[in-house]
Amino acid sequence: MEESNQFKRVIAHAKEYGFVFPSSEIYDGLSAVYDYGPHGVELKNNIKEYWWKAMVEGYQEIVGIDSAIFMHPTTWKASGHVDAFNDPLIENKDSNKRYRADVLIENHIKKIEAKIEKEILKAAKKWGQQFDRSTFINTSQRVIGYQIKINEIEKRFSSSMKKGDFLDMKLLIEECGIACPDSGSKNWSDIKQFNLMFQTKLGAAQKRASDLYMRPETAQGIFLNYLNVQKTSRLKIPFGIAQIGKAFRNEIVARQFIFRMREFEQMEMQYFIPPGSQQEWYSFWKAARLKWHHAMGLDKENYQFHDHINLAHYADDATDIEFKFPFGFKELEGIHSRTDFDLSSHQTFSGKKISYFDPFTNKTYTPFVIETSIGLDRMFLAIYSACLKEQTLEDASKRIVFELPPYLAPVKLAILPLVNKEELVGFAQEINDKLQWEWAISLDVKDTIGKRYRRQDAIGTPYCVTIDFDSLDDGKVTLRNRDSMKQERIAIDRIKQVVAHKVDMISALKTL
Ligand code: GAP
């Protein structure tokens, strides 16, 4: 499928087949907030299970928690979010559209990078087999010129970000000739800091009510529970704490469907390590997380690392695992070396000692942390974009097939009586009753069998079994495979074994 159209197809398909709906749609929706429908919630739960099993059950030294969304307000002062969880906001005075200034600059750099790629492609075509990419990059005056431009912009951008020098950042936008993507106008406002946390109140009496924040990351719930978990689980460093939960950010520009939302879910893990070992564990978790993605079986070309130039206030190293979404490579997961910033800061603000006595080295220290943080909704969108396919069949007809890894499919087995006749429906119901606790099953009676196959293909059901009149006599059904569309006759007693083998998540996890 062509890339730009693919994104439109994903959004339309997600609504039509009950995966994702705009929130509060009967009131015309709420910007950048979405609800998951009957199939969406199953797919989302399966992704969570794949992550939880890999991260919590897969490591003896990692345990899970589920902390509250509301946390003591000082948490966010200590974590730096009150002072530093800001985005540089710029407004175009003609279109009144608001943008993140840093994103405008990053997109401008990407445009220059695309020009370099174009030069390389042109030269590769011209020189054929003799073409040497690195020689070309180092000698082409045009490419060198572009690269110098990129380096200059990056240097200035990084320095103005670090210093919070928004005047210079605005000048940079103007000097680069960056125009409003909506109107083409270059008439920009000054840049302001915009804090992304949502605020609310705790308690009924307005005067005495205390200000609260909706958590912008789940990680702080882990840091605040570090002492409780370490003591009650009797874990020794290195160990990890994982959690899945909601996070809230008042994003300046929230768009691209469920890619950037104002309410979303994160799957985060904080790995506590001795100071000084952060490079080793950072490399370990980079490799481990990429392997987790690859084990899902989507094309490996979909993934790339993007190391950060501008580090968050808490990090001494950071990278993104980027995914090739229909709108280009974008961040899917962050891996951050968070030093001892959070634990030390909570120690200072709370006055409670947060340290660890290491029985191996006889030293007491504040642990350092490597964090892996993936957006569940983004993972959902990544899988959706890569697995939703339109195929042209031998007879020139088309089918939509959702080639989900079978263990993620919202429905694992569809039971289809060939026609809507009492004996067949009753028999189908008996098979359903026998298997209903094994996996999510759909017993579908309405429409022709062809239409029902298409419907199951479109929601990603790996297998359908069809019950016909012969089934009543020979105890066999027709098993149809979603991907190959091949059909075979099998005994009813074998359905459980065949489907269980196909939808088994554990075999994917065992490759980790
Ligand atoms: N605890 C670290 C942290 O929150 P982050 O890079 O800001 O780091 C981690 O977020 C992940 O959360 C991102 O890689 C992305 O997948 C997801 N995420 C962040 N903001 C999001 C948003 N507005 N909508 C959906 N997912 C988001």
Q: What is the mean pLDDT of residues 6-17?
A: 96
Q: What is the mean pLDDT of residues 154-177?
A: 93
Contacts 24+ apart (CB under 8 A), 293-297: 293/321, 293/332, 293/333, 295/508, 295/509, 295/511, 295/512, 296/50, 296/383, 296/405, 296/408, 296/508, 297/405, 297/508
SS (H, E, C) 406-458: HHHCCCCEEEEECCCCHHHHHHHHHHHHHHCCCCCEEECCCCCHHHHHHHHHH
For 87-143, the pLDDT digits (tens) are: 999 999 999 999 999 999 999 999 999 999 999 999 999 999 999 999 999 999 999
For 51-72, the pLDDT digits (tens) are: 999 999 999 999 999 999 999 9
162 — pLDDT class (breaks 50, 70, 90): confident
Question: Ligand 1 pocket test: which of 44, 264, 304, 337 has the largest number of ligand atoms within 8 Å of its C-beta?
Answer: 264
For 348-400, the pLDDT digits (tens) are: 999 999 999 999 999 999 999 999 999 999 999 999 999 999 999 999 999 99
CA distance linking residue 349 with residue 393, whole number of Å: 64
For 337-360, the pLDDT digits (tens) are: 999 999 999 999 999 999 999 999
Q: How far, in Å, is the centroid of ligand 1 from the Cα of 375?
A: 5
CA distance linking residue 100 with residue 185, whole number of Å: 16
Task: Please identify, by atom number, the ligand 1 atom nearest to the C-alpha of residue 266.
Answer: 12
Structure tokens at 502: 């196909």
Asked if omega into 359 is within 30° of 0 (cis), the reply is no
Q: What pLDDT is recorded for position 337?
A: 97
Question: Ligand 1 pocket test: which of 51, 373, 384 has the largest number of ligand atoms within 8 Å of its C-beta?
Answer: 373
By the 10 Å C-beta count (0-12 exposed, 13-18 middle, 19+ buried), 111 is classed as: exposed
Q: What pLDDT is recorded for position 289?
A: 98
Task: Please identify, by atom number, the ligand 1 atom nearest to the C-alpha of residue 218.
Answer: 1
Q: Whose CA is nearest to atom 4 of ligand 1?
A: 217
Question: What residues does ligand 1 touch, defined as CB less than 6 Å away?
Answer: 217, 219, 249, 251, 260-261, 264, 266, 268, 331-334, 371, 373-375, 377-378
Q: How far, in Å, is the centroid of ligand 1 from the Cα of 312?
A: 13
Q: How far, in Å, is the centroid of ligand 1 from the Cα of 58?
A: 23
Q: How far, in Å, is the centroid of ligand 1 from the Cα of 81?
A: 14
SS (H, E, C) 70-90: ECCCHHHHHCCHHHHCEEEEE
Q: What pLDDT is recorded for position 1?
A: 47
Q: How far, in Å, is the centroid of ligand 1 from the Cα of 85?
A: 13
Q: How far, in Å, is the centroid of ligand 1 from the Cα of 266?
A: 7
Q: What pLDDT is recorded for position 304?
A: 98
- Cβ pair 4, 28 in contact under 8 A: no
Q: What pLDDT is recorded for position 432?
A: 97
Indicate whether 312 pLDDT > 90.
no
For 191-239, the pLDDT digits (tens) are: 999 999 999 988 776 666 678 999 999 999 999 999 999 999 989 999 9
Collapse the DSSP code of 217 into the 3-class scheme (helix H, G, I; strand E, B; otherwise coil) and give the result: coil
Beta partners for residue 483, in sequence order = none
Q: What pLDDT is recorded for position 142?
A: 96
Task: Please identify, by atom number, the ligand 1 atom nearest to the C-alpha of residue 251.
Answer: 23
Task: Please identify, by atom number, the ligand 1 atom nearest to the C-alpha of residue 219.
Answer: 1
Continuous segment of H or E residues that includes residue 23: none
The residue type of 415 is: I
Question: Ligand 1 pocket test: which of 23, 194, 331 has the largest number of ligand atoms within 8 Å of its C-beta?
Answer: 331
**What is the DSSP track for 44-78?**
HHHHHHHHHIIIIIT-TTEEE----SB--THHHHH
Q: What pLDDT is recorded for position 227?
A: 96
* Degrees, nearest 5: CA angle 66-383-67: 5
Q: Given phi > 0 = left and psi -120 to 50 = alpha, else beta, which region is 447? A: left
Residue position matching structure tokens 């065992």: 510
SS (H, E, C) 266-329: EEEEEEEECCCCHHHHHHHHHHHHHHHHHHCCCCHHHEEEEECCCCCCCCCEEEEEEEEECCEE
Task: Please identify, by atom number, the ligand 1 atom nearest to the C-alpha of residue 262.
Answer: 23
- Cβ pair 226, 368 in contact under 8 A: no
Q: What is the mean pLDDT of the chain?
A: 95
For 408-462, the pLDDT digits (tens) are: 999 999 999 999 999 999 999 999 999 999 999 999 999 999 999 999 999 999 9
Lowest mean pLDDT among 62-66, 84-88, 265-269, 334-338: 84-88
**Cβ neighbours of 339 (radius 10 Å):** 19
Q: Whose CA is nearest to atom 27 of ligand 1?
A: 375
In this prediction, what percent of the chain has a pLDDT beyond 90?
92
Beta partners for residue 245, in sequence order = 266
Q: What pLDDT is recorded for position 204?
A: 73
Collapse the DSSP code of 258 into the 3-class scheme (helix H, G, I; strand E, B; otherwise coil) and give the result: coil
Q: What pLDDT is recorded for position 184?
A: 95
Structure tokens at 445: 């009676």
Collapse the DSSP code of 361 into the 3-class scheme (helix H, G, I; strand E, B; otherwise coil) and give the result: coil
Residue of 108, 102, 183, 116 whose CA lies nearest to 145: 116
For 44-53, the pLDDT digits (tens) are: 999 999 999 9
Residues 6+ positions from 102 with CB-CB distance below 8 Å? 87, 88, 157, 161, 169, 310
